Structure 1
Amino acid sequence: TVVELLNKVDIFKCDKSKCGFLEGKEIEHFYKILTHREEIEVIYGEYAKTDGLMSATDLLNFLLNEQREDASQNDALQLIEKYELDENAKAKQQMTKDGFLMYLQQPEGLIFNPAHKSVYQDMNQPLNHYFISSSHNTYLLEDQLKGPSSTEAYKKALLKGCRCVELDCWDGSDGEPVIYHGYTLTSKILFKDVIKAIKEYAFKTTEYPVILSLENHCSVEQQKIMAQHLISILDSALVTKPLRDQMPTCLPSPEELKGRFIVKGKRLDKLEEMFSEESKTAEEDSVTEEEDDEGDEEDQEKKSSKTKSLKLAKELSDIVIYCKSVHFRGFEDSRDKQSFYEMASFKEGEAVKLAEESANDYIHHNTDKLSRIYPAGLRTDSSNYNPVPLWNAGCQIVALNFQTPCLEMDLNQGLFLQNGQSGYNLKPSFLRDQDTNYNATCVICALKSSIVDPIVKVQIYGVPADTTVVETQYIENNGFNPMWNENFQFNVRVPDLALVRFLIEDYDSSSNNEFIGQYTLPFNSLRNGYHHVPLLTKKGDLLSSAGLFVHIMVVDAE
């Protein structure tokens, strides 16, 4: 409790009568101790120039000079009306220190730009122009060897704004396809139950489209069942044909696809054949197709070294419209042969190598085609790779294990915190323009209710030239109201790709520091001035009654 915490830090001395409870002036004294913020007093004192209080003009000066907001006298008056608790001060259009503290602890005082909490980006560009929040092995709750599979994992990912979920599909008993991690002891769930769960939770957080990434290992018979379930359960929300009556020349936009589901998988023919007068209906229900190589490494060892083939049911093939899976055979081959609706998947090692050694080619590839990245199969513990270098190369579907709390998921959550948590972030213009002259190679060459020793690390993630970390000194035995009063300066060269992470740890000189909380947000969503930084747990939940108070100043380089 609060009382227990204050006793621990030798602050709770309000019970002057020694009766075991507080009354009258003791309560007032207790409140003053509880809300005492030396740094707030200093800031308030600098601007409270009207009989020791902040007038609307004083508050406006603070908003303009410190917060660098485009504010007016009326904005200041509205803040006083909204947050001032003292009716006498409010009547005089003044703000007390308590009202000022109340304002700084509300959304208006948080570090994240409130304008970015809603959808503010252009959502009418082709899908390949966006970073898309994406998960890998979405069905798993734990590890990839014997952990449980569950529809709950899909619900959790979708509620976090994930827009691309993976379904590993295998033949099940009683003719019903199942989802699980092949060749392992992970539990199995029915394909139809997963589709029902996805339909129910897909658009609770955001209305923008969901991509169903199929890793298909089923027989033709059960592929037909898969297609039946997709069509019957998702109904008109499933995209089963191009949005218009003529052959498209680019992918549709997130806005056009609101409330819709897109299937990513193999297709027997080119999309163009749907509009060809000479196209013929296939006489066979299935055609031999080269098998996808997206299986994990342990799966690959169980397969013959010879080229395998996959029988593909026409019913399932026909509902693959905008995300046809193809193999990547080099950038030249992709330029010459790969259509805009065809997309390749890359294992993390291959993708990182391309981003490092062929960055410009990779960036140009991703200006008009979708790329999906997935973790290596050896990550049996469901750990994650660093997604930042792949975002830097313009890769859109950078799939992570959402079930694993880690730095990489912090970065993913931070990137997609903006734009209304829609799961779609518009890529910077230099990663969208096919004629881009962006030279990748030149860039790529508080807190806790116990006694802790808190230390703050400020981390920048982005292009290698921007990636850095600084840390404060630790404050010994004070997790209640530590003050660092330290200044750091960063030179950020590519702000459009930069993420800022505030990490708080309990310092330990003899072992690894203990995680306390973190908060990650896009650099471009930072607000100038004095702001509170909320803190999240490892699982991404809000750490109540905890936060950092920081001063931010972003200025253009001279």
Structure 2
Amino acid sequence: MDPEGSRIRDDPHIKVMMAGSTLRKVKSRSWKKQRHFRLLEDGMTIWYKSRWAGMGHSTFSVTEMEAVREGHQSEVLLSTAEEFPADLCFTLVFHGRQGNLDLVAETPEEAKAWIQGVRKLIHKAQNMDEKERLDQWVWDWFKKADKNKDGKMTFKEVRKLLKMMNVEMSEDHAFHLFTMADKSDSGSLEIEQFVYFYKMLTQRDEVWKVFQDYSGDGEKLMLEELENFLSMEQQEGEKSSHAQELINRYEPSESAKKQGAMSLDGFQIYLCSQEGSIFKPELRELHQDMSQPLSHYFISSSHNTYLLEDQLRGQSSLEAYIQALKRGCRCVEVDCWDGSDGEPVVYHGHTLTSKILFRDVISTLKEYAFKASDFPVILSLENHCCVEQQTVMAKHIRVICGDMLLTTLLHGQVPQQLPSPQELKGKILLKAKKISGTEGSLDETLTDDISDEEEMTNHEAESLSAEEPPAGTLNHDGKNSKTKLSKELSDLVVYCKSVHFHGFEYARSYGKCSEMSSFSESKAKRLAKDTGTDFVQYHTRQLSRIYPAGRRTESSNYNPQDMWSVGCQIVALNFQTAGLEMDLNDGLFAQNAGCGYVLKPAFMRDGNTQFSPEKPEDRPGYTPMRLSIQVISGQQLPKVNQKEGSIVDPLVRVEIYGVPQDQAKEETSHINNNGFNPVWNETLNFVIHTPELALVRFEVEDYDKTSRNDFMGQFTLPFTSIQAGYRHIHLLSKDGTAIPPSSLFVNISISELTRRSQI
């Protein structure tokens, strides 16, 4: 069995890749070295010879790649454009935060073969169904373990393979399975026999038990039996058509299909599919009302978007904007400073971060703004430039963005509420200061969003470079004057006018929906705790932007949930920093087609709302929920320590993030030496007071009694997106990228918490 089939191998572009090519790997203008690249026989692994890697070569999988860019479509290749013509150049783009690979071929034909070949392989990998994916995975392991490449595997090789696969198994049991699979008594397994061995190894008793509960003969689920399972366990109601669809879609046996039945194999494939996953598939689609005012949505937002690393020494890069926008980010930040040649530059001021041209940032924004989502992008400007260079900025924004830039009020009138994402589709909005109207008075718009100095206590003095500077610093002469703001730039601000926050009373009486303020995380937290209801009401009409404290020099993040719980829309995080906070952001915005906008719950959109996250029980319609999670088993969990012979001791922690009363975590015990098919069968229980705001995070860790547990994988999703019943949770890496076939198998029940059960 070779899941690749011969068809793809016969493709002329793939043949060039398999034969191998000498390509130049380019890291900078000065670092360009030749490496020999080739596609291995599995059709999934690209190998290249490099004297730096331990054994003299490196490999990466096609599944790690997201796209191929042709020509000079990276900063590195642009910088070497004079040396290498565009038709020789291409860039391999990887998922997550892994850096790109910039390559230069020796001939245009060779470049084309690699570009087209890699695209075909990526397309093929993305369109594999569950069974093909599993076949591919088994095939990969077979090749890794078949050290002498004879297409057969001895018991010694199988024993090594089990260690590699995270399985600790008694030698007797392993040998017993091996001899059962070795039907020809040859002392070795060929690929078909290895598949049989793998099937016995991965026999899932816990799935078989569920199957037995509903199968009359223990061999198959007839249509009616499958319907019973779907309505009793999966809580999907009476839908016979759905049961039939599942059989058509997931049953591998034609004879079972003809009987209108599902075998154990089909049942397992269904449970591991997207439909059997914990996330309600229909909520992954664009399903929310997108015609409400912008202030009624949470908006995926990035801080210091130009950085790939930390904010003291990190590299400023256009690639950072591309990565954020591809992840559905809808509010990007640009820190602008005077450039030496009249061209404004973007970097983190007064630090060692590298600089990029403002006009290049705007060109990148124009190209990538609407690839992941059609809904509007807010360009948050931190402006440190003199008037002349502000005017240059205005010209670049106008000329480069063209029709994409919103420059006038919709319908030509001053609104009582902000326009909707639907009305602003395909538009870029500028968030910056604006010169006030014709009344001639110096209004607060020139005072910066962060003129909170008077409120800062010594212990929380945050760097003022964290947001726009007080207006006086714009002038470099200490004068706070209107003329120091460029009229051309001011004119481009329509719905996102930066103003200083004067308190909730002032906002209620005088605040306009097109005015927005920025808050440091500590000020926002203080307001949320002391005046939560006021903050929620404020956000029904006006936008706010929250940004990390200046002391977070390593670009760490704060917990965004605290801000979402009071309705803050633009909760800006360092997208470049992996971890819990970005998991929460990815989890919230995974719903609604990942479009970067999530509609707030109804009780946070009502201008007279009395909701306070500190007292969720006081709101009308308060209905606490009970969440019960039986953590049954894990499948093929990733290895943490690549040392030969090391096996993980996994445990599962479930964490709830939401209003203060909902913050909770529970964990299972750990299983010794089994990352392949650990079974816990432990139930974790939670009560959730504000389900509409809660996020649920599943994390798998490698237990260590002497030091901190190692992270293995996680999955985060909104409580409202959870499907009840027997579900698989497909784990993600620290970077938020898929790590198939690693998963957890759980049984989830959700019910309203009645008064009796509260007593």
TM-score by length of 2: 0.69
2:426 is matched with 259
Could you tell me how far 1:22 is from its partner in structure 2?
2.9
Change beyond 3 A, Cα 1:548–1:294? farther
Correspondence list, 1:57-456, <5 A: 57-270=224-437, 289-293=446-450, 297-299=462-464, 309=480, 311-443=484-616, 446=634, 447-449=637-639, 451-456=647-652
- C-alpha distance in 2, partners of 1:335/1:51? 67
Q: Which moved more, 1:30-39 or 1:251-260?
A: 30-39
Give, in whole Å, the separation in 2 of the partners of 1:511 and 1:444: 40
Please give the secondary structure, in 2, of the residue aligned with 1:109: coil
- What is the Cα deviation at residue 494 of structure 1? 0.5
Relative distance call for 1:28 and 1:408 in structure 2 (3 A) is closer
Unaligned stretches of 5+ in structure 2?
1-140, 143-157, 453-460, 619-633, 640-645, 755-759
Q: Give the Cα–Cα distance (whole angstroms) in 1 for the partners of residues 402 and 196 of structure 2.
A: 63
Which residue of 2 is the match for residue 486 of structure 1?
Answer: 682
More deviation, 402-411/309-318: 309-318
After superposition, the C-alpha distances for 1:212-243 in whole angstroms (9 at most, x for unaligned) are: 00000111111111111111111101000011
Q: Hey, what does 1:461 align to over in structure 2?
A: 657
Asked whether the 8 Å contact 2:409–2:494 carries over to 1, the reply is yes
- Residue number in structure 2 paired with 1:499: 695
Pair 1:5–1:174, CA change in 2 (3 A): same
CA distance in 1, matches of 2:607, 2:318: 40
Which of 12, 15, 19 in structure 1 is aligned with 2:187? 19
Give the deviation of 1:313 after TM superposition.
0.4
The percentage of counterpart residues that share the same residue type is 51
* 1:235 aligned counterpart, secondary structure: helix
> 1:247 Cα shift?
2.2
> Compared with structure 1, are the counterparts of its residues 288 and 81 closer, same or farther at alpha carbon in structure 2 (3 Å cutoff)?
closer
- Letter of the 1:501 partner, please give it: R
Give SS of 1:175's match.
Answer: coil
Shift in Å, 1:441: 3.3
Q: Which range is displaced more, 32-41 or 539-548?
A: 32-41
The higher relative CO (CA closer than 8 Å, separation ≥ 6) is in 1
| 1:135 Cα deviation after fit | 0.6
Bigger mean CA offset, 84-93 vs 339-348: 84-93
CA shift at 1:6, angstroms? 2.3
Q: Do the aligned partners of 2:617 and 2:689 also contact (CA within 8 Å) in 1? A: no
Tell me: CA distance 1:300–1:105, structure 2 relative to 1, closer, same or farther (3 Å).
Answer: closer
After alignment, is 460-469 or 29-38 more displaced? 29-38
Q: Give yes or no for contact 1:209–1:258 (8 Å, CA) kept in 2.
A: yes
- Superposition deviation, residue 27 in structure 1: 4.3
| In structure 2, distance between residues paired with 1:258 and 1:451 | 50
How far apart are residue 456 of structure 1 and its match? Answer: 0.3
Q: Name the counterpart of 1:43.
A: 210
Q: Distance in 2 between matches of 1:459 and 1:23?
A: 42
Measured in 2, the distance between the counterparts of 1:153 and 1:29 equals: 46
Over 3 Å counting, the alpha-carbon distance change for 1:308 and 1:532 in structure 2 is: farther
Find the counterpart in structure 2 of residue 274 from structure 1: none
Cα distance in structure 1, aligned partners of 2:480 and 2:679: 63
CA distance in 1, matches of 2:557, 2:303: 10
Which amino acid letter does the alignment assign opposite residue 290 of structure 1? Answer: T
Q: What TM-score do you get using the length of structure 1 for normalisation?
A: 0.93
Is contact 1:215-1:294 (8 Å) kept?
no
521-530 vs 192-201, which deviates more?
192-201
Deviation at 1:544, TM superposition (A): 1.9
- Residues 199, 123 of structure 1: CA spacing in aligned structure 2 closer, same or farther, 3 A cutoff? same
Aligned to 1:508: 704
Range with greater deviation from structure 2 (73-82 or 469-478): 73-82
Q: Which amino acid aligns with 1:9?
A: E
**Which deviations, in whole Å up to 9, do the C-alpha atoms of 1:413-456 show, x marking residues without a partner?**
10111111111111111111011132443249931246100010
What's 1:273 paired with? none
Q: What is the distance in 2 between the residues matched to 1:70 and 1:394?
A: 34
1:517 aligns with 2:684: no
- Asked whether the equivalents of residues 360 and 441 of structure 1 are also in contact (C-alpha less than 8 Å), the reply is no
1:379 is paired with a residue whose SS is coil
In structure 2, the CA distance between the partners of 1:23 and 1:519, relative to structure 1 (3 Å rule), is closer
Aligned to 1:6: 162
Give the residue type in structure 2 aligned to 1:358.
T
| Post-superposition offset of 1:288 | 9.9
Q: Residue type matched to 1:515 in 2?
A: F
CA RMSD of aligned residues (A): 2.3
Alpha-carbon offset, residue 290 of structure 1: 3.1
- Counterpart amino acid of 1:540? G
Name the aligned partner's letter for residue 120 of structure 1: H
**Structure 1 residues 140 and 48, CA gap change in structure 2 (3 angstroms):** same
Q: For this pair of structures, how many residues does the alignment match?
A: 544
Deviation at 1:395, TM superposition (A): 0.6
Distance 1:299 1:353, change over 3 A: closer
Alpha-carbon distance in structure 2 between the residues aligned to 1:539 and 1:397: 22
Distance 1:183 1:294, change over 3 A: farther
Show CA shifts across 1:32-89 (max 9, x none). Answer: 2243111100001111115631011111111100000134222111111111111111
Shift of residue 19 of structure 1? 3.4
Whole-angstrom CA distance in 2 between matches of 1:73 and 1:50: 20
Post-superposition shift, 1:129?
A: 0.4
Report deviation, 1:203.
1.1
TM-superposed deviation, 1:309: 2.9
Residue identity in the other structure for 2:666: V
Cα 1:348–1:484 change in 2 (3 A) is same
